[in-house]
Chain A
Amino acid sequence: MTESETKPVLELQHICKAFAKPSGEPLAVLSEINICLREGEILGLLGRSGSGKSTLLRIAGGLIKPTEGQVLYRAAPLNGPADGIAMVFQTFALFPWLTVLENVEAGLDALGLAHAEIRARAMQAIDLIGLDGFQSAYPRELSGGMRQRVGFARAIVINPVLLLMDEPFSALDVLTSETLRTDFLDLWAEHLLPTKSVLMVTHNIEEAVLMCDKILVLSSNPGRIAAEIPVPLAQPRNKLDDEFRAIVDEIYSILTARTVESIGALRRAHGGLAQPLPRASVNKMSGLLETLSAQPYDGRANLAEFARSHRFEIDDLFPTAEAVHILEFAEFDDGALKLSAAGRAFVHGGTDERKRLFKEHLLRFVPLTAHMRRVLEERESHGAPSTRFEIELEDHLTVADAEQTLRAATAWGRYAELFTYDDQTRMFSIIPVGG
């Protein structure tokens, strides 16, 4: 089937979404999103946390109204949740006071069917999804994997045309998510589901390449479509295939290129205060640099392979890699991470040498920590409350990002002995030189 032959199930046109900042000003989380989802397609939205991908999924489901743009579901404007759209949640979102059967039946509520038919369809869905024997169990009695099966059963029982999935496997362990993924793909491939299209959000690159026909990579702050990657491989796909690996590599390259670009742009804007700092501990950074400098990488590692052999997901590896890139201990290089001379010196240095290097790089390459140090030096009391910096950051970042950024800056600054922080009084301070 070519694109022109199949009908679009869902179209997002010029979608923008802004949330209110504490000061009341709007802060854009999504900007100019255009998506066309066709029949028979599994479309993946891939992005890091904070790229607004969950918000986008909720807009597609009619749960959130976009600030601008419109959503067309089967060629008609979508205003609110509609017939034929079902969602599977990351947190499962099961009603704890209803049994498995009642939870699945709750999905059919809106259809106004006879009781006997509701029961029959729910049992059929439970059967299909492999929940037989658990009908009378309450969600708390089930394991995470079984809970998500209930989530799937509740979604497919309405015979959805469009299935929305919000990181459906990310709350599960590796083996369980593998099983659920495979089961779902089997049902999809054998056309046992009435579902025509799937839109799924994920932060797991391999999962996206494994499941999707097309992947949209979202960039952050605000979320934009950075790339559209078709996955023309036949199902079932093999993670070890060369073609499979090539696509994973390509996505890593796009993500790293995007990251490098945005780091560069953000460092220049607003005195560098608009740059969100990633959630990365000094220990993880040290570990990454050490691994990078050792064999077999010898200073340069392909991120896709690195993630695979160390069982990292992007939300795990990327923040750390981004942090060492920002600090210029290493550098993104087309889907690879390359150790810099300073990074090599850091790896070979002792504790004091590492701290000295870290401090030097914090002052040179992280505008926020340099700014914090300067403020503390200039103030007569050599102290400043954390809210002073929080408020400054919230002018450029979402509240969550501002919090995360300040937390990272605090941890890094403390390690480098750039300043101290008292969590009780929420005050930063320095012991002045020569004081």
Chain B
Amino acid sequence: MVAWADKFRYEQAAAQVVSRSWVLDLFQQTKALNGLFAPIGLLLDYIVRARLGVPSILPAWRVSKLSMRVIDALWFAALALGAAYLIRALLRFVEPTLSMDDLVEVAQSGGLTFLRVAVLIVIATLVWVPIGVAIGLRPAVAEKIQPIAQFLAAFPVNLLFPIAVYMILKFNLDPNIWLSPLMILGTQWYILFNVIAGASAFPSDLREAAATFRIRGWNWWRKVILPGVFPYFVTGAITASGGAWNASIVAEAVSWGPTKLSANGLGAYIALATEAGDFPRIALGIAMMSTMVVIMNRLFWRPLYALAERRTRLD
């Protein structure tokens, strides 16, 4: 794909290092492979070209401004009604067994897990952004690292949990702290991927300008490359933080044989409730987690993404 994507390179100066791939050569030049994949290509063509058969009367169906507003109002009313109904159903479901104390507990757990996710994203950022930049600016290295990073991202991190349990028991560590890294193990790679992609796509004229004016050291990071990879980083960090929230369910409460370790947190709360078959608490925990993820996206990541978009666009 890297070699193939070179076709789409949008630059005036020729790339100094040409990407090559025997797989691409194989697919482009082997008659048998061309023939073999032709039916798949045809099928894809057919699917892409298939008409959806939407009647063409739609554009003719004009709506006046007033009725448009009425339709909007009706739609919002329907949404509000639906939400109210769902909340009532949820409350009725949890009411017999849960009290205000449960809500406080779940909120506290949520706060703890939030803290963990935030700290872990910061640490992962500090580690992987410089590494990703260093890799992404060297096409030859990026080509070699990419398969390794992909393998790591696909690696089921649960397999490492027993080792963590063993280590925590052996050194008598605090699970509240030392179980946390497990949450980010699987998702940190999204930050690395995206930063590598961002650094590879960094315009070569800007690199040359930075080199000519000898912008180096911290200034280079601050004025040149960090803003350049920022939108890519935000994309990766959103994925990584969302993934970390989900991973907290398996990472905050782990077991190895008869040994069980759990930290205080929303993930452990949900995991323990699941183990106990306590549906009201599962529902409460998941509702809390969804709410927190949405709030974090709305109040933090979205504005950050909008800023990245606005600042790095030239046109």
Contacts and interface: CB of A to CB of B under 8 A. Distances in A.
B314 A139 contact: yes
A55 to B, nearest CB: 8
Contact of B311 (A58, A97, A154, A385): A97
Contact of B214 (A64, A110, A387): A110
Which of B203, B205, B212, B215 has the most A CB atoms < 10 Å from its CB? Answer: B212
B28 to A, nearest CB: 6
Nearest to B208: A63
B213 A107 contact: yes
A140 interface: yes
A338 to B, nearest CB: 34
A91 B29 contact: no
Given A19-B16, A22-B18, A110 B213 contact: yes
B223 A95 contact: yes
Interface in B132-173: none
Interface string A100-130: 0010001101100000000000000000000
Contacts of A61: 212
Given A95-B224, A109-B219, A85 B312 contact: no
A139 B214 CA distance: 21
B38 to A, nearest CB: 9
B315 interface: yes
Interface in B217-267: 219, 223-224, 227-228, 230
Contacts of A399: 14, 18
Interface in B4-55: 12-14, 16-18, 20, 28-29
A54 interface: yes
Contact of A93 (B208, B214, B223): B208
A98 B29 CA distance: 46
B294 interface: no
B209 interface: yes
A64 B223 CA distance: 23
Contacts of B223: 95, 98, 102, 106, 109
Nearest to A58: B208
Interface in A52-77: 54-55, 58, 61, 63-64
A158 interface: yes
Given A20-B17, A93-B206, A400-B14, A86 B313 contact: no
B206 A20 contact: no
B208 A106 contact: no
A91 B213 contact: no
Interface in B288-315: 311-315
Interface in A393-421: 398-400
A158 B213 contact: yes
A171 to B, nearest CB: 10
A109 B214 contact: yes
A21 B224 CA distance: 30
Given A61-B212, A81-B212, A93 B205 contact: yes
A90 interface: yes
Contacts of B228: 97
Which of A20, A109, A154, A387 has the most B CB atoms < 10 Å from its CB? Answer: A109
A211 B230 CA distance: 41
B311 A96 contact: yes
A89 interface: yes
A97 B225 CA distance: 11
Contact of A87 (B209, B227, B312, B314): B209
A96 B313 contact: yes
A102 B311 CA distance: 14
Nearest to A86: B212
Interface string A230-246: 00000000000000000
Nearest to A403: B7
Contacts of B224: 95
B92 interface: no
Which of A95, A98, A400 has the most B CB atoms < 10 Å from its CB? Answer: A95
Given A22-B20, A87-B209, A140-B314, A110 B215 contact: yes
A61 B205 CA distance: 13
11 contacts: A81-B211, A81-B214, A85-B212, A89-B205, A89-B209, A91-B205, A94-B209, A95-B224, A95-B227, A102-B223, A109-B215
Interface of B: 12-14, 16-18, 20, 28-29, 203, 205-206, 208-209, 211-216, 219, 223-224, 227-228, 230, 311-315
Interface of A: 19-22, 54-55, 58, 61, 63-64, 80-81, 83, 85-87, 89-91, 93-98, 102, 106-107, 109-110, 138-140, 154, 158, 385, 387, 398-400
Given A20-B18, A54-B13, A102-B223, 9 more contacts: A63-B208, A87-B209, A91-B12, A94-B314, A109-B219, A110-B215, A140-B315, A385-B28, A385-B29
